[in-house]
Amino acid sequence: MKTAIVYRGSSACDNCSESVGRLLMNSPYHFNVTYAGPDEEVDLSPSLLSKADLYAYPGGPDLDEAWDELKTHAKTIREFVNGGGRYMGFCLGAYLAGKSALDLMPSGIDVGSEILQDKAQVDDDRDTTIQVDWKFNASTGSPTLEKSRWAYFQEGATMLGFNDSDRGIVARYSANQNVAASVTPYGKGFVGLVGPHPEAYELWYKDAEIKNPEGIRTDIGYDFVKSTIDGIPASSNIPGNSCS
């Protein structure tokens, strides 16, 4: 059984950490999940990550506050991924992987806000749904594209700087074809980032008083987990990054 460490603390939104844990535990890998944070029984450490396959960071309200808390662990996270671990970032967790924080992305690629991009389907910070074109089985090199799938969205990230042919693209926002989910190498490990919330389940939609036009489905979330665990080797356009 694979083991995942999931951040839980004040920098995550209500129920976000638990929803990521739920996705991982219910995925085909059936992760053994440990929550780590400043108010948990354990906080992030090299010793803790040495027993893990994946470190996941959920959504949250404020990038600056999250980074202020996380930056003391930045070296630990980079070394974990560099040595073959997986980093999985959902929304805020994706922003934290960018150049201004953990700096886990390949040269030329960074993380920005989708609502600020041209022709974005959603241009404000309300809780809503958004359409994505998702490449299932992207890690196999023979993906199956499903267009205009609906997913929960709240001021989600986009990964900037990819070329059209880059293999690390897992999903694009349907409206403008910006990258909505990606998996890229970092040393011997991989970094999986997603702007929407494939971990969202019934409670999220009820609390936000919104509906998913397709109903709530788990396949996008499980495929994102699989792509991150399996890894997608860099194309010739993207040099693999690593910590020095």
Is pLDDT above 80 for 55? yes
**Using CA atoms, how far apart are residues 55 and 49, in angstroms rounded to an integer?**
8
In a domain, 159, yes or no: yes
In a domain, 186, yes or no: yes
Residue span of the structural domain in which 136 resides: 3-230
In a domain, 221, yes or no: yes
Model pLDDT for residues 199-229, shown as the tens digit of each residue:
999 999 999 999 999 999 999 999 999 999 9
**Using CA atoms, how far apart are residues 40 and 205, in angstroms rounded to an integer?**
27
Are 118 and 176 in contact, with CB atoms under 8 Å apart?
yes
Cα dist from 195 to 16, 71, 134, 180, 199, whole Å: 14, 21, 12, 5, 11
Q: Give the CATH number for residue 219.
A: 3.40.50.880
* Sequence letter at residue 56: A
Number of neighbours of residue 184 by Cβ within 10 angstroms = 28
Are 4 and 24 in contact, with CB atoms under 8 Å apart?
yes
Rg (C-alpha) for the chain, rounded Å, is 16
- Chain center to CA of 201: 16
In a domain, 244, yes or no: no
pTM of the model: 0.96
Q: Report which DSSP code applies to 124.
A: S
Model pLDDT for residues 90-137, shown as the tens digit of each residue:
999 999 999 999 999 999 999 999 999 999 999 999 999 999 999 999
In a domain, 240, yes or no: no
Q: Report which DSSP code applies to 117.
A: S
Q: Report which DSSP code applies to 46.
A: H
SS3 20: helix
Model pLDDT for residues 4-26, shown as the tens digit of each residue:
999 999 999 999 999 999 999 99
Percent of the chain with pLDDT over 90: 92
In a domain, 243, yes or no: no
In a domain, 242, yes or no: no
In 43-109 the beta strands, taken as DSSP E runs, fall at 54-57, 86-90
Number of domains present in the structure of the chain: 1
Task: State the pLDDT confidence band at 243, using cuts at 50, 70 and 90.
Answer: confident
In a domain, 28, yes or no: yes
